[in-house]
Structure 1
Amino acid sequence: MPLVRGEATLQRATFLELFLDLVFVFALTRISGRVIDDFTDGQRGVLAGLGQALLLFLALWAVWSLTVWSTSWLDPEAPVVQTVIVITMLGAMTMAVAVPDGFGARAPLFAITYVCLQIGRVVYFHLAAHGQPDPRQTLRVLIWFGLSAPLWVVGGLADDGTIRGSLWSIALLIDYGGLALGWPTPRIGRQRIGGRMIAAEHLSERYQQFLLIAIGEAIFVIGVAFSSSEFHVNQAAGFVLALASTVLLWRIYFHVAGKVLDAAVGRSRHADRLATDMAFAHLTMIAGIVLTGVGFELFITEPLGHLPAAWLIAILGGPALFLAGRSALEYQVFGRVSRSRLAGLLALGLLVPVAVHLDPLTAGAAAAVVLLGVAGADARRSRHRSPETPTPPY
């Protein structure tokens, strides 16, 4: 059975790929749970906790994104590829289980699983596929993972959290640098996975699906927070506000640009570069949605209590991070950024000195008003303009 996708290959995600996504639904709940604890119990400290959660999240995203790139180049129905997806599912689940104490007692488990997964599946695929379709690509990826692997393992075994964070940060820079640059290697050069052979429709759909996973995780947080509350009127108001904000996040993402990712990749002169940049835009948006979900938890459980200034990182910073990623995506698809998104980012920034004097629910409402303004500007623009054709800048 051919390994590289052909013209007639199914472009939609397979059921096995969707099954893999369920693991990452669980992983996101573990990430958000860590961050919620950092905002409420204060044992790790908010900034230190956020930094740790970010490193764990980036490692999980690296696993998912490399899998998606591979299945958008190779046929996901091929038995060898399906086996790699199953291996990925088992490894990612182990990493997700380790997340709550991923910088403590379970750090070795998280790091060693990550290294074994990233290197092991490349080696397995090379052996099972007898070096097809490109042995040079295997060598490139293994060399780069070989550079980061010792940092992951030593960091996982280190007793000092600062040393662990430093080593893992460098390791992630190597892993993400390799992915972004196409794993440049002496003598054999560089090549992003698949190059222009990437199935644009499949890759675009997978980005959209993961973003929906993040929105689904936010809904999960909302439901758990409200069901665990005393159902007071103010908590019910926070529940409704959080749901409305989630709808606005969905609406802003899928307004035009989020729907035509495949067309943008297909029209790009450098499809591999554009697809890579889209991955980082989605990474930013998903991180923003997860952080926004944490803000939902905070203003549902404590709607009228004292608002610690650090909570604004989630309540206002989450939507701002989402809008920043969405602005980057709009530039990648259309070669420009709507003024409404820039105005939304500015408004969220200007709200910070005011919001410190508000209660959590009012601060959440202010963030929702900004999102509503962005979504409203999109709706007005749609009524007065014909559908826009993607014009990627490169």
Structure 2
Amino acid sequence: MTDERGGRLLRPEDSSPRATFLELFFDLVFVFALTRVSLRLVEGTGGSVGTLLAEIGRTGVLFLALWLLWSITTWVTSRYEPEQPVIQFVVVGTMFGAMVMAVALPRAFEDRAASFVLAYLAVMLVRPLIIATALRHHPRRTVPLRLFAWAVAGAVPWLTGAVGPEELRLPLWVLAVAVDFAGLLLGWPLPRLGPARTAGWLIAGEHLADRYQQIFLISLGETILVIGLTYSGAEFTADRAGAFATAFVTTALLWRIYFHRAGHLLAEALRVARSPGRLGTSASSTHLVIVVGVLSTAVGYELVIAHPHGRTDPTWLVFVVGGPAIFLAARARFEYEIFGRVSRSRVAGLLVLLLLGPALTLVPPMAALALVAVVLAGVASADARRSRGRPSEPAASPLGHGGTGGGEFPAP
């Protein structure tokens, strides 16, 4: 028999789909955390290509741990009633853990490895136990217990990397992140229980869409911080003023391209999908890549505003050109998730950026950033021309047609 007291923890149908003030408060930590990610990448651009790639790998592992923390919290507040005191306690506790991770992140591969890992594991291990306890004997309590079991497996390489030889830290933490993401993608399967794939979850689609839009805006907010802090800390010159203005315009173009049509329809697509969990899982992966593109672009801003003159360092183009290219590629996938098609303007913009990349080493960084802004402006203009005078296109996601339509977990 279903435990009624435990069932109160689940989000009811009449619950507000909008993000709560606590969730918005929680997101403030990630504004700070994303600036720490950018800082690590900027500090890694001064060496060789090999050094840069190694730093991208290290920073990527740390970012993925933060993303997993944010993403699972988002699914928790979409599955469970965020006004319940237990869920509020879980969110605040996760917030503190994320704050510790963000503080430790710039030196997480050096002397602050233990702080970063212990904060991460405290959230990943304690959070599911609290939720499982609050659910009492409700059938859904098997899901947080699955998360706990997989977090225990992932804790082994996390802790070994933190206390072991420094040269083994990166491969061990890559393994740890792989275990954690494998659990999410496979549905945290356990012997005799099988998986509980997120494709079968009954979710609050409008709430989930709201949260993905907000993490995108948080990443844009991080670029605004980078633009402002870098320009305010440098000597005011005409070149730097031009780079400052171009960076701001580029950020505005990223916002415009994201929210054009598809960016407004994720909630509708999740609402009409027979398998909203499948579409939500796919959208989560897409937004991960979108945020990576925006963060990489922010690193490019800092480099260009600080050094607008001279020839462009080839490694800088990984961020100045690579960031917007990653964003366009992920935004094209997002469009496919919503409409089942991809606009030619996004493909054309991506190809132009990739083809222009090698030639931009011959021009100053300021000119390289300006050309990137021109390409993005072309994509945004094509969007506006295509939609002018036409009715809004309804969501027709090809990813939400599978599943049973019931949105329930398999029997425990």
Into which bin does the TM-score normalised by the smaller protein fall?
Answer: over 0.9
**Would the aligned equivalents of 1:69 and 1:193 in 2 still touch at CA under 8 Å?**
no
Task: Give the root-mean-square deviation of aligned CA atoms.
Answer: 1.6
1:6 counterpart = 2:5:
no
Residue of structure 2 aligned with 1:204, choices 168, 189, 209: 209
Residue of structure 2 aligned with 1:177, choices 176, 182, 185: 182
Secondary structure of the 1:105 match is coil
2:90 maps to which residue?
A: 84
- State the alpha-carbon separation in 2 of the partners of residues 134 and 195 from structure 1: 13
Aligned pairs for 1:206-225 within 5 A = 206-225=211-230
- State the alpha-carbon separation in 2 of the partners of residues 350 and 193 from structure 1: 38
- State the alpha-carbon separation in 1 of the partners of residues 358 and 21 from structure 2: 48
Aligned pairs for 1:1-394 within 5 A = 2-40=8-46, 45-132=51-138, 134-161=140-167, 163-192=168-197, 195-394=200-399
What displacement does 1:133 show? 5.6
- State the alpha-carbon separation in 1 of the partners of residues 369 and 185 from structure 2: 35
- CA gap 1:193/1:171 in 2 versus in 1, 3 angstroms: same
**Would the aligned equivalents of 1:226 and 1:235 in 2 still touch at CA under 8 Å?**
yes
**Would the aligned equivalents of 1:73 and 1:194 in 2 still touch at CA under 8 Å?**
no
**Would the aligned equivalents of 1:38 and 1:44 in 2 still touch at CA under 8 Å?**
no
Secondary structure of the 2:388 match is helix
What displacement does 1:363 show? 0.7
Structure 2 residues not aligned, in runs of 5+ = 400-412
Secondary structure of the 1:190 match is coil
What displacement does 1:193 show? 5.0
- State the alpha-carbon separation in 1 of the partners of residues 187 and 372 from structure 2: 38
**Would the aligned equivalents of 2:199 and 2:275 in 1 still touch at CA under 8 Å?**
no
What displacement does 1:384 show? 4.5
The one-character-per-residue Cα deviations of 1:304-342 (angstroms, maximum 9, x if unpaired) are: 123110000000000011111111111111111111111
Q: Calculate the TM-score normalised by the size of structure 2.
A: 0.92
The one-character-per-residue Cα deviations of 1:271-307 (angstroms, maximum 9, x if unpaired) are: 1111001001000010110110110111111111231
**Would the aligned equivalents of 1:148 and 1:174 in 2 still touch at CA under 8 Å?**
yes
- State the alpha-carbon separation in 2 of the partners of residues 7 and 213 from structure 1: 28
Secondary structure of the 1:39 match is coil
**Would the aligned equivalents of 1:136 and 1:188 in 2 still touch at CA under 8 Å?**
no
What displacement does 1:194 show? 8.7
- CA gap 1:208/1:350 in 2 versus in 1, 3 angstroms: same
- The residue type paired with residue 376 of structure 2 is L
The one-character-per-residue Cα deviations of 1:245-294 (angstroms, maximum 9, x if unpaired) are: 00000000000111111111122232111100100100001011011011
- State the alpha-carbon separation in 2 of the partners of residues 65 and 50 from structure 1: 21
- The residue type paired with residue 67 of structure 2 is W
- State the alpha-carbon separation in 2 of the partners of residues 57 and 271 from structure 1: 26
- State the alpha-carbon separation in 1 of the partners of residues 100 and 68 from structure 2: 15
- State the alpha-carbon separation in 2 of the partners of residues 7 and 139 from structure 1: 24
Secondary structure of the 1:11 match is coil
The one-character-per-residue Cα deviations of 1:196-247 (angstroms, maximum 9, x if unpaired) are: 4200000000000010000000000000111011110000000000000000
- State the alpha-carbon separation in 2 of the partners of residues 43 and 323 from structure 1: 24
2:404 maps to which residue?
A: none
**Would the aligned equivalents of 1:323 and 1:345 in 2 still touch at CA under 8 Å?**
yes
- The residue type paired with residue 361 of structure 2 is V
Q: What percent identity do the matched residue pairs reach?
A: 47
